[in-house]
Every structure is written in C-alpha cells, then in structure tokens.
Structure 1
Amino acid sequence: MTRTLTPPEPILEPDLPIIDPHHHLWDRPGARGAELPPPSHPFEAVIRLSPRYLFDELLADMTSGHKVVATVYMECGAMYRRGADPAYRPVGETEFVNGVAAMSASGLYGDVRACAAIVGHVDLTLGAAARGVLEAHMAASPRFRGIRHAAASDPDPAVLGPMAGRAPGLYRDARFREGFAQLAPLGLSFDTWLLEPQLDDLVDLAKAFPDTQIILDHVGTPLGLGAYTGQREARFGTWRQKIQALAALPKLACKVGGLAMAFPAFPSFLSDPPAPSEQLAREWRPYVETCIEAFGVDRCMFESNFPVDLGACDYRTLWNAFKRLAAGASATEKTALFFGSAQRIYRVDLT
C-alpha cells in the first residue's frame, strides 16, 4: 500500500535523551512485490510497509532528530539457526543482533548504541531443559538480558490473523513454569506479550514468581478488532483494573507503547494521510496515563515497537506523541520514562 507523504514534524525537546527499549530487526523478502495478494489481516499490511528493517533502517530512525542514544532489541523470530536443534535455533537471533550491536559500538556510525541490550526467545515449555538454551544465549552475547515468550491468543482467529494459533493458558502451564523458574537464578528478565483478556494469567504467573523481573509489553494490548470491534472503549474499565492488579506486583514493569499496532484499532491506524502526533497523543492518552499512574515513572518506559508501529506513524512522529503525553511531567519524571527505567531494568551499558 502507499500513503500520502506529509512534511516531517519538527522535533519536540530534541535534547531529551532516549533509550528505545523495544524494537525489532528483520528481513522478509516474501512481503515484497506488487504481485502479492491483498493482505488478509491488518498486521500483514504493516509488514508490507517495512519488509526490511535492519541496521541501516534502524540507524536512520535513531538519528532522525530525537536524541535516541541506545536501544533494546526485542525478539521477533529473525535469523534463527538453520539446521540446528529446534530448541537452539533461536540462539541464531542473538548472534545476529550481537553483530549489529558490535557494528554500532564500533563508533563508525556515530555515538548511538543500537541493540545495547538484547532480549531473545527460548521455548520455556522445554521445562528445566530451557536452562541450557538460556546459557547458550548468554554465551552468544554479553548484551543478552532475557527472553520473551509471547502468549497472545484469542478464540477468534481474526484478532491475531497470521499470529493466531497459540493455545490458551500458556502462562499457567506446568512445563512452562518449570522453564520460567530458570530465569531468576541466571539474572534474566522476562518480556511478555499477551492480550487484555489474558492479563489475569500474567497476574497469576507474577505472583508465583515474585523474584523474576517481568516487563509487560504494549500496555497489555487492548483490543478493538475481530470479535472486539467497537468494544475497546467499553472494555477500558476492565483493562484498567487488570493493569492496577499487575502494578501491585513490585517486580513488574510496563512498556508504554504498542498502541499504534493493528490490535487496538485506533482511527490513526493505517490512516491516510498518517495521523499527526497531536492525534496520536489524544487517542492514546487514557491508556498511557493509566499505566504511569499505576506503575509510577520508575517502572514505566516509552517504547517505539518499530517497525511494527509504522502502521500509524513514522519514528519522529511517534516520539513526538510520547513527548506530548509527558509534557506535564517534571524533568526527573521524563528522565525515568524516556531513559532511566529502560537503562536500569535492561542493564544498558553505555560506557
């Protein structure tokens, strides 16, 4: 698809340091080409907007005007080891991203530090055997900080589209929890992606493992498509109650972002022309303010979720929207939201 080109927005607060704690890298040749059939789900349309997002594209975004000093890479199934034992195939992603991080750390591309921390993937349903895979990730990169094992699932396949198919109840599964128990002893964190109706599963998991650092991605993904079309606002109170329950658990942090994805179905998604930052801030404000109020600034961090959030806006506009949402915060609070929380929780080394 093509979208109307609009002039780039002026950068707000250009001197505010940012650590982007959530982005991906990928190369998906199958998503290129005018001969492709129409996308069967809005998420497929987003992938076609950016079928290639590697170091060049990330660096262009990082240096497009905002003071993004470092990033945290989030697993997305990229560059798995071909022909390896299935359990160890995801280690290839950490090896790949560590190479990108080394390129950035060379200084040849400026002072930014892309992928200064890496979150990979391990199938925790391996149970206790997951420890060996975790150790292989750690050996592959000194930047490895933890894993994400997504649980996003819904009875209506139209909600997740190409990502549908996961069985419900993953975080309550005994084998999964046996694998999950390997994280804290190794000093590793756990990123979680699941949907608003599933958030009770995460509350139960976090209570069972109070010593494991857990990061909730994408404010718990409120829904407004498929079976939830037209229900997002009606479900806001339910979502808020679950966020407050999660925030009561001290080792749980929240990434504030991901609202530009297809799943909440805000009017800004795939709008033409793309929505300005004022509109994005207006649409996202109730969710952003609820999360910051519940978790506090020291357990919240703004995230880009690029290139996925390209479905609503470019990188410059997205960070402008977050800066509008934080306009009333103090300098100390802004430092936490844009930089400090991410640096502490992911142990981002900027030396």
Structure 2
Amino acid sequence: MSVIDSHQHFWNLETGSYAWPTAEVEPIFRTFVPEELIPQLAAAGVDRTVLVQATDSYADTDAMLAQAQAHDFIAAVVGWVPLDRPGEAAEALERYGRHPKFAGVRHLIHNDPDPDWVIREPVIEGLGLLSAAGLPFDVVAVLPRHLEHVPVLAERVPGLRLVIDHLAKPPIKERGWEPWASLIARAAEHPNVYAKVSGLNTAADAETWTAEDLRPYVEHAIEVFGPERLMFGSDWPVALLAGDYAKVWKETGVLLAGLADADRDAVLGGTAARFYGIGA
C-alpha cells in the first residue's frame, strides 16, 4: 500500500500572489518548492502526496498542476475554481478536468467576510457542479460556524464528497472540547463526509506538543468517522510553525499505533487514494 500525505502545499513568493503567509509567520514566509520536500518524504517513507491550493486563484492552480506534471510523487492536486460564479466555474472545471491529476477543489472560506459564504445559493450551485464531475470539496473549517455548515452541504448536495481539513482545528492548546466535539460528530453522521488528521500540531502548543496532546481529538475522530473516512496529512510547510515534517510523521505514528494494520493503512493512504481517485 502506498503511504499518502493527503495535505501539503507549495508557494512561490517571487512569482505568486498570496494573502498568507505574511511576515508575521516568519518561518514560512518564503518560497517552498518540491525539491525541498522530496528528501523529507523519503525519510518518512511517504510515497505520494496531495498538493492543496494556497490561494484562491487560477495562477496557483496552474502552478500546482505544472508541479504535478513534473513530479511523480504529487499524485493529486486540489485546486480552485470560482464556485460562487457557476458559469465560470463550469468552464474552469472542464478545462482542469482534462488534467489527470486534478482531483478536487478548495476555497479559503475563512478569508471571506461572510461566515456563511459556503451556503450561498450560487456556491451551492457551484458545489453541485463538483458533484456532477465526481470531484470532492475540501472544507476549511476554522470557526464553529464553518463546521455547522458541513451537514447542511452534505444534505443539500448529497452526491458531493466533502473532507474537513485539519479536523476543523480543535482547541488543543486550550484543552477545549465543545462545541468542536459535537459539531464534528454531527458532520460525521453523513457518510459522504471525511476528515483529515492534519494540521493539529499548529493547533497545539508549538513548543511542547506531543501525540498525547492530540490523542483525545484524534481518538474522537476515529470513533465518529472510522479509519475508512480519515486520512493523514502533514500540512507542510505550515507544520514548520510547530515542529517539522519528521516530528509530525513520528507523532502521527504514535497516535495510530494501537489500530489494526488495515485501519492504520487506511488512515495512512487507503482513504486518500479512494477519496481523491489515486491509482496504485
């Protein structure tokens, strides 16, 4: 079985335009390219990755697809189309759909001043286009409000597969629990909703975190989703704000050590392969 990192990024500050990262997050306020990640994947034993958009633009999606074309380890690309402009989105999906590694769409909904952006009628229509094309949607759920929308989307666009990025950033550093635990359990009641065990280190104490800090949240996710709807992601290079690739990989291994082999294989690659249509 291939080990798949379901969530990583690249960005080029010389050639691209990004709202984030900014100088306030100095460790990652620089260009990141595939050549820097390759040895880290090899050291961890990760075979392939899913490259996820870093800004809502065609330019970013085009750059990611070019990187995927040049590097076999990039198995899939989660890009961007203007979901709130369904006519334009349809044209973009037809264009991007010709690329064999275009495998999903994300929109940085947490950057929109309207916390209900994702349930606007034009966006629902745009998500329907994704469903018709067999493409999934990555959900950025930073606010509880964003997580509340997931069951709504699952019901209004029933054929759409959804994946909640970073387990919706549970309040690990504060050792909080509600409303996160109830909201993610409610989302998991819908069989077309998945989640990524990713980005949790940056929700914890950056200096001291270990697997044990993350464990209650990951175990809750395993309980409500099951391993067959969870997938590992590094969130590299954002992960550098609280450790590095090696630490994220090591502590994830500690978290999953108690699972049966088949369940661990699902989280570490099998689920991502099914969700994003990644072949053997």
- If the length of structure 2 is used for normalisation, what is the TM-score? 0.90
Aligned to 2:133: 186
Specify the code of the residue in structure 2 equivalent to 1:188: L
Aligned to 1:117: 76
- Against the structure 1 CA distance between its residues 177 and 128, is the aligned structure 2 distance closer, same or farther, given a 3 Å change threshold? farther
Aligned to 1:77: 55
- The partner residue of 1:239 within 177, 180, 198 is 180
- The partner residue of 2:67 within 85, 97, 100 is 100
* C-alpha contact 1:46 1:308 (8 A) present in aligned 2: no
Aligned to 1:149: 107
Identity in percent: 29
Specify the code of the residue in structure 2 equivalent to 1:147: V
Moved more, 65-74 or 166-175: 166-175
Long gaps (5+) in structure 2 = none
Aligned to 1:159: none
Q: What SS does the aligned partner of 1:240 have? A: helix
1:96-153 CA-to-partner distances (Å, cap 9, x unmatched) read: 2233223323xxxxxxx2x2111101121103431111112223x211011001322x
1:50-103 CA-to-partner distances (Å, cap 9, x unmatched) read: 51211111212212x21111001101128xxxxxxxxxx51x333322332233
CA distance in 2 between partners of 1:196 and 1:322 (Å) = 24
1:238-282 CA-to-partner distances (Å, cap 9, x unmatched) read: 111111101100011000121122xx3x22x2x2xxx4xxx4201
Alignment map for 1:256-335 (pairs within 5 Å): 256-261=197-202, 264=203, 266-267=204-205, 269=206, 271=207, 275=208, 279-335=209-265
- Against the structure 1 CA distance between its residues 56 and 331, is the aligned structure 2 distance closer, same or farther, given a 3 Å change threshold? same
* C-alpha contact 1:255 1:301 (8 A) present in aligned 2: yes
- Against the structure 1 CA distance between its residues 289 and 127, is the aligned structure 2 distance closer, same or farther, given a 3 Å change threshold? same
Specify the code of the residue in structure 2 equivalent to 1:302: F
- Against the structure 1 CA distance between its residues 130 and 119, is the aligned structure 2 distance closer, same or farther, given a 3 Å change threshold? same
Alignment map for 1:160-199 (pairs within 5 Å): 164=111, 166-198=113-145, 199=147
* C-alpha contact 1:221 1:258 (8 A) present in aligned 2: yes
- The partner residue of 2:161 within 195, 209, 213 is 213
CA distance in 1 between partners of 2:11 and 2:236 (Å) = 11
Q: What SS does the aligned partner of 1:21 have? A: strand
CA distance in 2 between partners of 1:17 and 1:348 (Å) = 10
More helix by share: 2
1:212-263 CA-to-partner distances (Å, cap 9, x unmatched) read: 1111101012347xxxxx8x434x13111111101100011000121122xx
* C-alpha contact 2:5 2:48 (8 A) present in aligned 1: yes
Specify the code of the residue in structure 2 equivalent to 1:333: D
* C-alpha contact 1:27 1:53 (8 A) present in aligned 2: yes
Q: What SS does the aligned partner of 1:125 have? A: coil
- If the length of structure 1 is used for normalisation, what is the TM-score? 0.73
Q: What SS does the aligned partner of 1:26 have? A: coil
* C-alpha contact 1:195 1:223 (8 A) present in aligned 2: no
Larger Rg: 1
* C-alpha contact 1:94 1:144 (8 A) present in aligned 2: no
Specify the code of the residue in structure 2 equivalent to 1:69: D
Specify the code of the residue in structure 1 equivalent to 2:216: P
Specify the code of the residue in structure 1 equivalent to 2:27: R
Q: What SS does the aligned partner of 2:60 have? A: helix
TM-aligned CA deviation for residue 334 of structure 1: 0.9
Aligned residues: 275
Specify the code of the residue in structure 1 equivalent to 2:225: F
Q: Is residue 130 of structure 1 aligned with residue 89 of structure 2?
A: yes
- Against the structure 1 CA distance between its residues 103 and 165, is the aligned structure 2 distance closer, same or farther, given a 3 Å change threshold? closer
Q: What SS does the aligned partner of 1:249 have? A: coil
Long gaps (5+) in structure 1 = 1-15, 31-40, 79-88, 106-112, 153-163, 225-229
- Against the structure 1 CA distance between its residues 215 and 43, is the aligned structure 2 distance closer, same or farther, given a 3 Å change threshold? farther
